[in-house]
């Protein structure tokens, strides 16, 4: 069975590809270049197309399947008309599957389930990355504010931090927010 992954994110596509291979689907190809999408898909002639939901080229595939219905072969999208839970889960996860008819329903289901779990894993990874990044940014802001306080009030590093922490507690704010306020204020006083 031939599977095509249409995804501009190489990391997510790789995660998906690995999962499919592990599950025994060895004939997997990735298309990242959207301009030649239709030509590539016709050339590969896949049984299943998995596309990132936020890819504007989804509309192009809709037409392809419209045309296929008339001239090539019938097509089913997602799993089954009645299986709205699967549709919901795949839309939630950010993946959409276009599946050519004639495949066993169980096989389609297993591909889609795998996609959903891999896509969820990817967005989880992304969230963690974003969180780690913002923690680093916060740390930098706090250090900068600390430096400003040390210079302005002639404090030790420890005292400067303590001052920010006690202000944060008193004002029921995060230290990061106090640090931001210090930086903003110091820029205004320049």
Partner 1 sequence: MTAERETLRIGFIPLADAASLFVAVDKGFAAEEGLDVELVQEVSWSNVRDKLNIGMFDAAHLLAPITVASSLGVGHVKTPIVAPYNLAMNGNAITVSPSLHAAMAAQLDGDALDPLATARALARVVADRKAARAEPLTFGMTFPFSGHNYQLRYWMAAGGVDPDEDVRLVVLPPPYMVGSLAQGHVDGFCVGAPWNSVAVDLGVGHILHFSVELFSRCAEKSLAMRERFALEHPQVVAALLRALHRAARFVSEADPHEVAALLARPDRVGVDAQVIVRTLQGRLKVTPDGATRENARYLLLGQEGAERPDPTQAAWLYAQMARWGQAPVSPALLDAAKAVFRADLFDAALPSVAVPTPPSGDAIGAFSGPAFEDRDIAAYLSAFPIRRAP
Segment contacting partner 1 by CB under 8 A, of 49-57, 113-121, 143-151, 181-189: 49-57
Segment contacting partner 1 by CB under 8 A, of 51-59, 101-109, 141-149, 179-187: 51-59
CB of 32 to partner 1, least distance (A): 15
CB of 43 to partner 1, least distance (A): 16
What CA–CA distance (Å, rounded) separates 17 from 43? 20
What CA–CA distance (Å, rounded) separates 101 from 168? 61
Site for partner 1 in 67-126 (CB under 8 A): 70, 77-78, 81, 84, 87-88, 91-92, 96
Q: Which of 14, 38, 103, 121 binds partner 1 (CB under 8 A)?
A: 38
Q: Which of 55, 100, 116, 141 binds partner 1 (CB under 8 A)?
A: 55
Block residue for tokens 């507690």: 169
Q: Are 41 and 68 in contact (CB under 8 A)?
A: no
Neighbours of 82 (CB within 10 A): 8
Instruction: Check residue 53 for interaction with partner 1 (CB under 8 A).
Output: yes
Q: Which of 24, 33, 35, 73 binds partner 1 (CB under 8 A)?
A: 35
The token duo for 120 is: 């969820």
CB of 61 to partner 1, least distance (A): 8
Instruction: Check residue 1 for interaction with partner 1 (CB under 8 A).
Output: no
Q: Are 77 and 99 in contact (CB under 8 A)?
A: yes
CA atoms within 13 A on the CB side of 167: 16
Residue 29, classed as helix, strand or coil, is strand
Residue 29, CA distances (Å) to 18, 32, 84, 115, 123 in order: 11, 10, 27, 15, 22
CB of 48 to partner 1, least distance (A): 17
Residues that bind partner 1 (CB under 8 A): 34-35, 38, 53-63, 65-66, 70, 77-78, 81, 84, 87-88, 91-92, 96
């Amino acid at each position: 069975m031939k599977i095509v992954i249409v995804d501009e994110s190489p990391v997510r596509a790789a995660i998906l590809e690995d999962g499919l291979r592990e599950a025994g689907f060895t004939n997997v190809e990735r298309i990242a270049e959207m301009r030649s999408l239709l030509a590539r898909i016709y050339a590969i002639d896949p049984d299943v197309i998995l596309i990132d939901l936020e890819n504007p080229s989804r509309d192009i595939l809709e037409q392809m399947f419209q045309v296929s219905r008339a001239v090539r072969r019938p097509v089913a999208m997602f799993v089954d008309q009645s299986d709205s839970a699967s549709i919901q889960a795949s839309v939630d996860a950010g993946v959409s599957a276009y599946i050519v008819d004639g495949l066993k329903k169980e096989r389609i289901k297993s591909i889609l389930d795998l996609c959903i779990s891999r896509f969820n894993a990817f967005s989880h990874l992304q969230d963690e990355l974003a969180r780690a990044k913002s923690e680093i940014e916060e740390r930098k802001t706090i250090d900068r504010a600390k430096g400003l306080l040390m210079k302005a009030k002639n404090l030790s590093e420890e005292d400067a931090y303590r001052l920010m922490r006690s202000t944060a507690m008193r004002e029921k704010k995060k230290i990061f927010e106090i640090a931001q306020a210090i930086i903003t204020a110091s820029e205004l006083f320049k």
